[in-house]
């Protein structure tokens, strides 16, 4: 099938690009493919949403019924000192990036569902349940489009009765908007050397739950952020969030930076401990957990942003790494990158002879937009945390951002990739996490159940190993196989084999598509590829 523009991924970046393209010209044919069973099914975010990009894209979003129903009314930040004590940080000492006046507490999944409706009204074709599995190239090396994955192939590679071959979608321009650690985006970066001369990319894993709480404890519009315990006790970095949405619901989660060194760290168990802290637990007692999920975030900042253009396409949103880590927000910047991309593609299509030619000015156009400038001013927040830890790093950020407005004339960086940071198990402290109480804290399997994750079982494993011996020979021996702990869905288990030895069992049907294994595996031996379309989590309003 031929289109002017094919977009991979119906997240904020992809959908904003699709809408903007059709606003600019109803002659441009636009198609979006989405691997989730429906738009929003794979979207997981906090989310406190900054409406800057939405105000530009749909100035009348209120009249159009956009699901932004809860303005932020209160902002609280805590430094959790230990399992029982926490200090509320006075407002005047909070970096201004963490102030949320004018923002909304939303479900990003629901916002994407609404954006998809707007895109369809503008004439965009959206195909949920179709994973882009392969990039197609012209003979001269330009990207020609994508192929969706075949369906109906058995685990042993044979065609089942249900076999349906994938489709080729050809386009003058293909926009990759797969979100953090995109499977195809990663290939595009490598093939075109887009990260040459750029800083090292960094990531975090965010684990989130949605609860319905006692109405007497609910304060719609309250935003709570925290740093310190429990991650600090485990030598890890990151922070927690708890947002009071509408309908007596709260969204809460913990983001663990994936630069941690101790292979015994378990982001999932850290989140279970986090919920037990009195500052958080007070809201959850008497409440009911509704949903669970996890997703990685790209947080390296503008110093790690690859070149975003290549012949035949562009890389946008968190697939490139447009998140503002100082704000822990990436939706507004992802949307803006999609809108700038749409304007660049529209201009290129309007100029004869430009079809598929590289839009070389796109990275600069994005960096010159308010979103790029915002990233630039707050570029030192993430590396400062890596260098000085959460508390001193935040103090540094306060000086850099509040006092110097991000204009200090240097750029910090952390050149060691997250997967290179682990220390051998023999040199690391074992961490004994408490057993779940089944009330506030839970185990992985009951959690994954709440993500409504579903994969066709008889299909090739989408968690591929470059070398099947590495998990036992290298990872287990040296690091006690950290995949057992960093995977938030219990996919990786070390079990006994029939000869009394050990083997890695991969429960691929539990995978919530967070991409942590693809990022943190110490030898980059695990490669996440797209499973059959529509497989994966089915998040409601995450």
On whether the CB atoms of residues 57 and 16 are closer than 8 A, the answer is yes
Q: Which of 21, 377, 463, 542 binds ligand SF4 (CB under 6 A)?
A: 463
Nearer to ligand FAD, 33 or 506 (CB): 33
Helices (H), 418-528: 444-449, 470, 477-479, 483-486, 516-520
Question: Quick one: which of 237, 505, 226 has its CA closest to 381?
Answer: 237
On whether the CB atoms of residues 368 and 294 are closer than 8 A, the answer is no
Beta carbons within 8 Å of 165's beta carbon, 6+ residues apart? 150
Question: Quick one: which of 380, 275, 280, 273 has its CA closest to 324?
Answer: 380
H or E stretch covering 332: helix 331-350
Q: Which of 126, 210, 305, 323 binds ligand FAD (CB under 6 A)?
A: 323
Q: Which stretch binds ligand FAD (CB under 6 A): 29-37, 64-72, 85-93, 488-496?
A: 29-37
Q: CA-to-CA distance for 393 and 239, rounded, in angstroms?
A: 13
What binding mask, one character per residue, do residues 466-505 give for ligand SF4 by CB under 6 A, x or -?
---------------------xxx-x--------------
CA 484 vs CA 311, 443, 476: distances in Å: 40, 13, 10
Structure-block tokens of residue 259: 């630069």
Minimum CB separation from ligand FAD for residue 353, in Å?
30
Nearer to ligand SF4, 176 or 486 (CB): 486
Told to check if 542 binds ligand SF4 by CB under 6 A, we report: no
Nearer to ligand SF4, 223 or 512 (CB): 512
Told to check if 528 binds ligand SF4 by CB under 6 A, we report: yes
Question: Quick one: which of 489, 281, 338, 474 has its CA closest to 30?
Answer: 338
Q: Which of 5, 33, 397, 517 binds ligand FAD (CB under 6 A)?
A: 33
At 333, is the secondary structure helix, strand, or coil?
A: helix
DSSP assigned state of 536: B
Q: To 10 degrees, the CA torsion angle through 390, 391, 392, 396?
A: 80
Nearer to ligand FAD, 273 or 470 (CB): 273
Question: Quick one: which of 234, 286, 239, 292 has its CA closest to 264?
Answer: 234
H or E stretch covering 83: none
Told to check if 180 binds ligand SF4 by CB under 6 A, we report: no
On whether the CB atoms of residues 539 and 34 are closer than 8 A, the answer is no
Q: CA-to-CA distance for 527 and 482, rounded, in angstroms?
A: 16
Minimum CB separation from ligand FAD for residue 297, in Å?
5
Minimum CB separation from ligand SF4 for residue 526, in Å?
7
Q: Could you tell which of ligand FAD, ligand SF4, none binds residue 511, using a CB distance below 5 to 8 A set by kind?
A: ligand SF4
Told to check if 13 binds ligand FAD by CB under 6 A, we report: yes
Q: Which stretch binds ligand FAD (CB under 6 A): 30-38, 158-166, 386-394, 442-450?
A: 30-38
Q: How many residues make up the chain in this entry?
A: 542
What binding mask, one character per residue, do residues 144-183 give for ligand FAD by CB under 6 A, x or -?
---------------------------------xxxx-xx
What are the beta bridge partners of residue 70? 105
Q: Which of 431, 517, 534, 542 binds ligand SF4 (CB under 6 A)?
A: 517
Q: Could you tell which of ligand FAD, ligand SF4, none binds residue 105, using a CB distance below 5 to 8 A set by kind?
A: none
Minimum CB separation from ligand SF4 for residue 511, in Å?
3
Q: Which of 29, 37, 45, 107 binds ligand FAD (CB under 6 A)?
A: 45
Total interface residues for ligand FAD by CB under 6 A: 46
On whether the CB atoms of residues 492 and 504 are closer than 8 A, the answer is yes
Nearer to ligand SF4, 12 or 206 (CB): 206
Told to check if 35 binds ligand SF4 by CB under 6 A, we report: no
Told to check if 237 binds ligand FAD by CB under 6 A, we report: no
Q: CA-to-CA distance for 49 and 358, rounded, in angstroms?
A: 32
Told to check if 528 binds ligand FAD by CB under 6 A, we report: no
Beta carbons within 8 Å of 20's beta carbon, 6+ residues apart? 57, 338, 339, 342, 343
What is the contact surface with ligand FAD in residues (CB under 6 A)?
A: 8-14, 33-36, 42-49, 108, 131-132, 177-180, 182-184, 206, 208, 253, 255, 295, 297, 317-319, 323, 328-332, 334, 530
Q: Which positions touch ligand SF4 (CB under 6 A)?
A: 463, 487-489, 491, 511-517, 528
């Amino acid at each position: 099938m031929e289109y002017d523009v094919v977009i991979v991924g119906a997240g904020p970046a992809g959908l904003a690009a699709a809408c903007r393209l059709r606003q600019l010209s109803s002659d441009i044919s636009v198609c979006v493919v989405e691997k989730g069973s429906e738009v929003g099914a794979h979207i997981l975010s906090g989310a406190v949403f900054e409406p800057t990009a939405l105000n530009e894209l749909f100035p009348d979003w209120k009249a159009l019924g956009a699901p932004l129903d809860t303005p932020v009314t209160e902002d609280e930040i805590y430094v959790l000192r230990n399992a029982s004590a926490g200090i509320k940080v006075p407002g005047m000492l909070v970096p201004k990036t963490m102030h949320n006046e004018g923002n909304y507490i939303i479900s990003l999944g629901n916002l994407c569902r609404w954006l998809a409706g707007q895109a369809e009204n503008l004439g965009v074709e959206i195909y949920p349940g179709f994973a882009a599995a392969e990039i197609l190239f012209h003979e001269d090396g330009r990207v020609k489009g994508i192929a969706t994955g075949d369906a109906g192939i058995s685990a042993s590679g044979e065609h089942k009765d249900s076999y349906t071959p994938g489709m080729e979608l050809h386009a003058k321009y293909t926009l990759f908007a797969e979100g953090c650690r995109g499977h195809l985006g990663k290939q595009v970066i490598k093939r075109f050397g887009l990260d040459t001369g750029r800083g090292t990319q960094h990531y975090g894993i965010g684990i989130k739950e949605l609860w319905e709480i006692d109405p007497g404890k609910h304060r719609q519009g309250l935003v709570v952020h925290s740093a310190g315990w429990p991650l600090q006790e485990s030598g890890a970095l990151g922070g927690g969030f708890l947002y009071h949405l509408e309908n007596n619901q709260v969204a809460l989660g913990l983001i663990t930076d994936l630069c941690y060194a101790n292979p015994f760290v378990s982001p999932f168990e850290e989140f279970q401990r986090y919920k037990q802290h009195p500052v958080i637990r007070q809201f959850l007692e008497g409440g009911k957990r509704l949903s669970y999920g996890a997703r990685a975030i790209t947080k390296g900042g503008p110093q790690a942003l690859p070149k975003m253009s290549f012949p035949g396409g562009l890389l946008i949103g968190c697939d490139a790494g447009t998140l503002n880590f100082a704000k822990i927000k990436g939706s507004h910047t992802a949307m803006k990158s999609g809108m700038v991309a749409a304007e660049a593609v529209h201009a290129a299509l309007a100029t004869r002879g430009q079809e598929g030619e590289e839009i070389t000015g796109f990275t600069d156009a994005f960096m010159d937009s308010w979103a790029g400038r915002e990233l630039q001013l707050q570029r030192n927040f993430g590396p400062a945390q890596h260098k000085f830890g959460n508390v001193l790093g935040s103090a540094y950020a306060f000086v850099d951002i509040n006092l110097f407005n991000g204009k200090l004339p240097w750029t910090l960086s952390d050149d060691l990739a997250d997967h290179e940071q682990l220390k051998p198990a023999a040199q690391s402290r074992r961490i004994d996490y408490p057993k779940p109480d089944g009330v506030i804290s839970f185990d992985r399997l009951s959690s994954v159940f709440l993500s409504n994750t579903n994969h066709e079982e008889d299909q090739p494993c989408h968690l591929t190993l470059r070398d099947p011996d590495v998990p036992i020979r290298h990872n287990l021996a040296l690091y006690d196989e950290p995949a057992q702990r960093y995977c938030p869905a219990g996919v990786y288990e070390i079990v006994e084999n029939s000869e009394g030895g050990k083997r890695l069992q991969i429960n691929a049907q539990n995978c919530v598509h967070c991409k942590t294994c693809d990022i943190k595996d110490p030898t980059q031996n695990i490669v996440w590829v797209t499973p059959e379309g529509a497989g994966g989590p089915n998040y409601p309003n995450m």
